[in-house]
Chain A
Amino acid sequence: MSFLPKPKVAHPGLPLNALGLNRRDYEGVMSTLCAGCGHDSVTAAIVQACFELELPPHNVVKFSGIGCSSKTTAYFVAGAHGFNAVHGRMPSIASGAHAANRHLHSIGVSGDGDSLSIGLGQLAHVIRRNPRMLYLIENNGVYGLTKGQFSASADVGTRSRRGDVNEQRPLDPVLLALALGAPFVARGFSGDREQLVPLLKAGLSSGGFALIDVLSPCVTFNDHEGSTKSYAYVREHREAPVALDYIAPRRAIEASYAAGEVLPVTLHDGSRVLLRKLEPDYDPTDRTRAAAFVQERALANEYVTGLIYMEPERRDFHTRHNTADAALNALPFARLCPGAGKLAEILREFR
């Protein structure tokens, strides 16, 4: 936490995007998290991704629950809409908002506590619903805000700062999302922005529910020896089977690749991702094998990071329900509420 606001002055050479905004225009208020928190890095990556995607701030809506991670929606895209829900209930609020306006870019930020303990049921159902939203779990293995109790993602054998050892088996949000049918599943690390920013951009452009589990160390309660979620541990224990490059719509692919080396996938909004296999036998479109790979590597104490699974063709919430294209607030009242006569007519059909 700092008492001094970040000065308004900016580097005069900062590039502008097509909207005439620079990266700093996508910042929010000053973070009150502990200095060095991984969550602040994730915030900076979101700022970068929104700037690069040239999102008009007023077309963004941010959702969160409770926790240090959930506080961070205040720290990016100050000009966006937002809702800070009660603990674990963000998915319902986000689903409702998305039902009302499918054109907004939804960004949900949650924590391992918020999503895997109190909000586990909510998370499972929002995955099944498949609204178009980017859902981040800033995963630090602890309840940071309430001073560092183990969360449901803490690994067996992890030692708390006070020396207690966790013996319960962890929940891995990536495996959960794969099992529940999420169409876009990835894992990032707050300390690797080069990997994270393209994942965020791809997730925001994917057309469905994109879950990214971001390992995001808690410097205060979980960055010591004996933690499997510290900066040093994560840096030592991660591998990526696929590298993802994000190509904006109408942008030419500049690098040249040998045939068969990359798998180009066109996303919902016309942008593309190029998937380069780093692990020859890995197939990011095969859900069961992806899950098996993640589990195998977990047994070897390795985090699988990067894009893990992708299914561009899944029908999202609005397609499935054949809803109106316009946002509800843009529909004339007469269409939104056809009146008592129409209601009576509908009810007659059921008699």
Chain B
Amino acid sequence: MQPTDPRDPDYYHRVVDCQWACPAHTDVPEYIRLIALGRYGDAYLVNRATNVFPGILGRVCDRPCEPACRRGRVEASPVAICRLKRVAADLREDITARLPRAAERRNGKRVACVGAGPASLTVANDLLPLGYEVVIFEQHAWPGGLMRSNIPAFRLPAAVLDEEIGYITGMGADLRLGTPVRSLAALLDSGGFAAVFIGSGAPRGKELALPGRDASERIHIGIAWLESVAFGHVTAIGERVLIIGVGNTAMDCCRTALRLGARSVQVMARKPRGFFKASAWELEDAEEEHVAIVVNHAPKAFVVHDGRLQGMTFERLEYELDGERITAQRVIEEVFVPCDDVILAIGQENAFPWIERDLGIEFDAHELPRLDPVTFESTRRGVFFGGDAACGPRNIIEAVAQGHAAALSIDLHCRGEPLNARPPHAVTLQSRKIGLHEWSYRNAWDGRERRLVPHISLRERFRRLDVEVELGFDAARAAEEVRRCLNCDIQTVFEAPRCIECDACLDICPTDCLTITADGAPPAVQARLRAPRLHPAQPLFVSAPLRQTGRIMVKDEDLCVHCGLCAERCPTGAWDMRKSWVHIPQAGDEARCQGPAQRRRA
């Protein structure tokens, strides 16, 4: 087999499942260890360096890291990565003095950002310290985008938003609230902007064109309705509410309806369980509040008499499943479900009515701008997109990641460099051995199960619209949960020439990750692994031929618990445990790190 080249920066990065899965590539295990040490402020700053909004994301992140977490493969459930992020935010000491600051001298370049959602805020966060003047145009009277207008306060308190957004605006961003951009052409013509970043989101809720749709005022579009609630324009709802759709917006709508006085809230799903778009934890939280999830109901018509909404008719469906695939569906009957209000939560669309179509900015059939997937530049030079505006409705952490990438592009653009002169991704390694049997990380296996986050009682939580439901871990619970992290960033690094093939590492490995075997074609080698390869998507490390027999060392990274016993039992130090630092370039790095651009100029 071809030996693995661990100098490929993706190799060790992929081993850190959570960091690899995180769009912003937050160094999760590093901040978890800092929490274990009680260094909450440091943990917060490690987070902030990549995800910008630790307190916000520690509450509402979509957490792609958790399904990826290795712990979930080794035993039942992943580390509570997201909730530990919140611990870092909740328990941190005052870190304001350690936050990035705007450059003392401006560099004379102005950048415009459209929208004050997480994407634009990230761009501002990255460019202000470099001396840019950043002007943010926001149509609403508050910054934050959907984080403020749509994510309900019982999940994300306003104070948390204010504080973390304040860290950015406090650097001197020129935030123009209540200032919609009505024409991009005008903005571009106004001159003075070296680049424009469009972070205006995916603002339009999808319609459900069924008979009776326009006959009543009591049929609402989910994201618009949530916005009206957030800004205090809507304060009540009928007793019986139907929510159409079962995505994350539906979950926020149903729980908000309960808080506005609804007695019976039913979420009407077209498909069976297992096919819902909502995250498992959001469903759980809604069902804890006695929201009924009604499966296999396809909406057919709104029933309105004399201008009053009576209810809706649905087709009740039956599905045939083949494993996780629907192979056939059949209508069994038509049913009528009475209600007072209907909230449509079936998705969002992009809309750019304010972008003229003759500016050289191309859009595809879904009204999405055509972009370079790395630089996020549109087909017009100097105009960049990020967040939901770039790819349709996604989530906060992707908006942040794209904001970082776009900020780097903007910096290159403004400095007259090609946008692809980005520093490469890189990994650096540092040994964690500090004694014969001592490692500077806690490598003992802890078999405890995932700790649960306490919730405020059902009675308390409905008193006001903004009572936060999740209470977060306290320091004691956090101290237990952090021990479940396997330290996947403490890498097993192998040096083939040192190995004397004594088998000590193979025999000590608790999860049978290691095999020494004759070289051969990949299927043959894989068939000889000491334990079956359960997840072929996980990388295999393949060494160069070993000195004494020419066989190869193969490591299935899948279930390695990073206990370090292979390194501890190796008589020759062929294995070592080394911390990997993954470097994803951000704006300013290309100037700081003597990247290719710099060298070319020299």
Task: Let me know if B534 is at the binding interface, CB within 8 A.
Answer: yes
**A220-246 interface mask toward B, CB cutoff 8 Å, 1 = contact, 0 = none?**
000100000001100100000000000
Task: Let me know if B548 is at the binding interface, CB within 8 A.
Answer: yes
CB pair A38–B510 under 8 Å, yes or no, is no
CB-defined contacts of A232 to chain B, threshold 8 Å: 500, 548
CB pair B504–A191 under 8 Å, yes or no, is no
B52-96 with Cβ < 8 A to chain A: 74-75
Task: Let me know if A250 is at the binding interface, CB within 8 A.
Answer: no
CB pair B502–A11 under 8 Å, yes or no, is no
CB pair A9–B510 under 8 Å, yes or no, is yes
CB pair B502–A217 under 8 Å, yes or no, is yes
- Known interface pairs A2-B565, A232-B548, A235-B549. Does A8 touch B571 (Cβ–Cβ under 8 Å)? no
CB pair A11–B511 under 8 Å, yes or no, is yes
Determine how close the nearest CB of chain B comes to the CB of A303; give it in whole angstroms.
16
CB pair B532–A36 under 8 Å, yes or no, is no
- Known interface pairs A4-B568, A35-B569, A235-B549. Does A11 touch B445 (Cβ–Cβ under 8 Å)? no
CA distance A34 to B447 in the complex (A): 28
CB pair A12–B534 under 8 Å, yes or no, is yes
CB pair A11–B559 under 8 Å, yes or no, is yes
Task: Let me know if A295 is at the binding interface, CB within 8 A.
Answer: no
CA distance A36 to B445 in the complex (A): 22
CB-defined contacts of A4 to chain B, threshold 8 Å: 437, 443-444, 563-565, 568
CB-defined contacts of A1 to chain B, threshold 8 Å: 437
Identify which of A24, A40, A217 gathers the most chain B CB atoms within 10 Å of its CB: A40
CB-defined contacts of B534 to chain A, threshold 8 Å: 12-13
CB pair A10–B563 under 8 Å, yes or no, is no
- Which of these, A13, A36, A38, A191, contacts B569 with CB under 8 Å? A36
B549-592 with Cβ < 8 A to chain A: 549, 559, 561, 563-565, 568-572
CA distance A48 to B467 in the complex (A): 58
- Known interface pairs A36-B569, A219-B502, A223-B500. Does A235 touch B548 (Cβ–Cβ under 8 Å)? yes
Across the two chains, which residue of chain A brings its CB closest to B506?
A: A44
CB-defined contacts of B500 to chain A, threshold 8 Å: 36, 219, 223, 231-232
CA distance A37 to B534 in the complex (A): 31
CA distance A37 to B559 in the complex (A): 26
CB pair A191–B511 under 8 Å, yes or no, is no
- Which of these, A6, A44, A190, contacts B510 with CB under 8 Å? A6
Task: Let me know if A14 is at the binding interface, CB within 8 A.
Answer: yes
Determine how close the nearest CB of chain A comes to the CB of B183; give it in whole angstroms.
59
CB-defined contacts of A280 to chain B, threshold 8 Å: none
Across the two chains, which residue of chain B brings its CB closest to A230?
A: B500
CB pair B507–A44 under 8 Å, yes or no, is yes
Across the two chains, which residue of chain A brings its CB closest to B446?
A: A7
CB-defined contacts of A36 to chain B, threshold 8 Å: 500, 502, 504, 569-572
Task: Let me know if B340 is at the binding interface, CB within 8 A.
Answer: no
CA distance A219 to B559 in the complex (A): 29
A11-57 with Cβ < 8 A to chain B: 11-14, 24, 34-38, 40-41, 43-44
Task: Let me know if B501 is at the binding interface, CB within 8 A.
Answer: yes
Determine how close the nearest CB of chain A comes to the CB of B77; give it in whole angstroms.
14
B459-482 with Cβ < 8 A to chain A: none
- Known interface pairs A11-B511, A13-B532. Does A231 touch B502 (Cβ–Cβ under 8 Å)? yes
CB pair A35–B504 under 8 Å, yes or no, is yes
A104-143 with Cβ < 8 A to chain B: none
Task: Let me know if B239 is at the binding interface, CB within 8 A.
Answer: no
Task: Let me know if B429 is at the binding interface, CB within 8 A.
Answer: no
Task: Let me know if A193 is at the binding interface, CB within 8 A.
Answer: yes
Task: Let me know if A257 is at the binding interface, CB within 8 A.
Answer: no
Determine how close the nearest CB of chain A comes to the CB of B568; give it in whole angstroms.
5
- Known interface pairs A4-B443, A8-B445. Does A41 touch B508 (Cβ–Cβ under 8 Å)? no
CA distance A59 to B75 in the complex (A): 32
Task: Let me know if A3 is at the binding interface, CB within 8 A.
Answer: yes
CB pair A7–B563 under 8 Å, yes or no, is yes
CB pair B504–A41 under 8 Å, yes or no, is yes
Across the two chains, which residue of chain B brings its CB closest to A27?
A: B507
Determine how close the nearest CB of chain A comes to the CB of B7; give it in whole angstroms.
28
CB-defined contacts of B510 to chain A, threshold 8 Å: 6-10, 24
B505-546 with Cβ < 8 A to chain A: 506-508, 510-512, 531-532, 534
Determine how close the nearest CB of chain B comes to the CB of A266; give it in whole angstroms.
30
CA distance A191 to B549 in the complex (A): 11
CA distance A8 to B561 in the complex (A): 11
Task: Let me know if B503 is at the binding interface, CB within 8 A.
Answer: yes
CB pair B565–A6 under 8 Å, yes or no, is yes
CA distance A24 to B512 in the complex (A): 10
Determine how close the nearest CB of chain A comes to the CB of B210; give it in whole angstroms.
48
B419-455 with Cβ < 8 A to chain A: 437, 443-445, 447
CB pair A10–B503 under 8 Å, yes or no, is no
Identify which of B504, B506, B549, B570 gathers the most chain A CB atoms within 10 Å of its CB: B504
CA distance A292 to B569 in the complex (A): 40
CA distance A201 to B154 in the complex (A): 65
- Known interface pairs A3-B437, A191-B503, A232-B500. Does A9 touch B511 (Cβ–Cβ under 8 Å)? yes
- Known interface pairs A36-B500, A36-B502. Does A11 touch B531 (Cβ–Cβ under 8 Å)? yes
CB-defined contacts of A10 to chain B, threshold 8 Å: 510-512
- Which of these, B445, B501, B502, B569, contacts A7 with CB under 8 Å? B445
Determine how close the nearest CB of chain A comes to the CB of B447; give it in whole angstroms.
6
CA distance A191 to B565 in the complex (A): 19
CB-defined contacts of A8 to chain B, threshold 8 Å: 445, 447, 510
B256-276 with Cβ < 8 A to chain A: none
CB pair A14–B512 under 8 Å, yes or no, is yes
CB pair A37–B447 under 8 Å, yes or no, is no
Determine how close the nearest CB of chain B comes to the CB of A46; give it in whole angstroms.
11
CA distance A223 to B500 in the complex (A): 10
CA distance A193 to B437 in the complex (A): 28
Determine how close the nearest CB of chain B comes to the CB of A27; give it in whole angstroms.
9
Identify which of A2, A9, A191, A219 gathers the most chain B CB atoms within 10 Å of its CB: A9
CB-defined contacts of A231 to chain B, threshold 8 Å: 500-502, 548
CB-defined contacts of A9 to chain B, threshold 8 Å: 74-75, 445, 447, 510-511, 561
Determine how close the nearest CB of chain A comes to the CB of B531; give it in whole angstroms.
4
Across the two chains, which residue of chain A brings its CB closest to B503?
A: A41
Closest 9 CB pairs of A and B: A36-B571, A7-B445, A44-B507, A11-B531, A13-B532, A36-B502, A7-B510, A35-B569, A41-B503
Interfacial residues, chain B to chain A (CB-CB below 8 A): 74-75, 437, 443-445, 447, 500-504, 506-508, 510-512, 531-532, 534, 548-549, 559, 561, 563-565, 568-572
- 29 A-B interface contacts by CB (under 8 A): A2-B508, A2-B565, A4-B443, A6-B565, A7-B444, A7-B510, A7-B563, A8-B445, A9-B75, A9-B510, A10-B512, A11-B511, A13-B534, A14-B512, A35-B504, A35-B571, A36-B502, A36-B569, A40-B504, A44-B503, A190-B502, A190-B503, A191-B501, A191-B502, A217-B502, A219-B571, A231-B500, A231-B548, A235-B548
Interfacial residues, chain A to chain B (CB-CB below 8 A): 1-4, 6-14, 24, 34-38, 40-41, 43-44, 190-191, 193, 217, 219, 223, 231-232, 235
Taking A2-B508, A2-B569, A36-B502 as given, write out 18 further A-B residue pairs in contact, using a Cβ cutoff of 8 Å, ordered by the A residue number.
Answer: A2-B565, A3-B437, A4-B563, A8-B510, A9-B75, A9-B447, A10-B510, A10-B512, A11-B511, A11-B512, A35-B568, A35-B569, A37-B502, A41-B504, A41-B507, A217-B502, A231-B502, A235-B549
